[in-house]
Amino acid sequence: MLRFGVLLACAAALQAQTEGAWASRAPVPLALAEASAATLGDEVYVVCGVVAPGQFSNRLFAYDPGADSWRERAPLPIPGGVERCNVAASAGKLYLAGSIRVGRGFLSAQTFVY
C-alpha cells in the first residue's frame, strides 16, 4: 500500500526517468490528501482521500503510465467518501479493507473488492 500526502496531485504525477531525476506527468484529476494507491496490472490506482477540510472522496482513478493518462473508475460504495484506506492488489483484483473519516467519528472495517 502506498499513501500519499497533501501533494498527491503533484507527486503522483511524477515518474522516475533516471536515477535521481523526475519528469512531470499528467496530474491526478482531483487533488487529494490522505489517499491510498496500489498497482494493478500496468496501472496505478488511487482511491479515496481528503478533498478539503472535512470533505472526503470515494472516487477511484487509474493511471496508465504508457499513455500518461488518468481514467475515473467505479467509485467506492461509501457515500461521503473516506480517507486512509488500506489498499492492496492481488490476483488481478484491488482490495480495500478499512478506512476512516478523521474528526467525523467514522471508522470502518468494511472490505471491498474491485
Give the pLDDT of residue 1.
45
Domains of the chain: 2-14+22-113 (2.120.10.80)
Mean pLDDT score across all residues of the chain = 84
Please state which of the ranges 28-37, 62-71, 79-88 shows the lowest mean pLDDT: 79-88
43-52/55-64 β-pairing:
antiparallel
Instruction: Tell which wins on pLDDT, 106 or 77.
Output: 77
Confidence (pTM): 0.78
Find residue 101's DSSP bridge partners.
106
DSSP, collapsed to helix, strand or coil, labels residue 11 as helix
Give the pLDDT of residue 94.
96
DSSP, collapsed to helix, strand or coil, labels residue 8 as helix
- Assigned C-alpha cell, 107: 471508522
Q: How many alpha carbons lie under 13 Å from residue 42 in its C-beta half-sphere?
A: 6
**Degrees (nearest 5) of the Cα angle 28, 6, 98?**
85
DSSP, collapsed to helix, strand or coil, labels residue 9 as helix
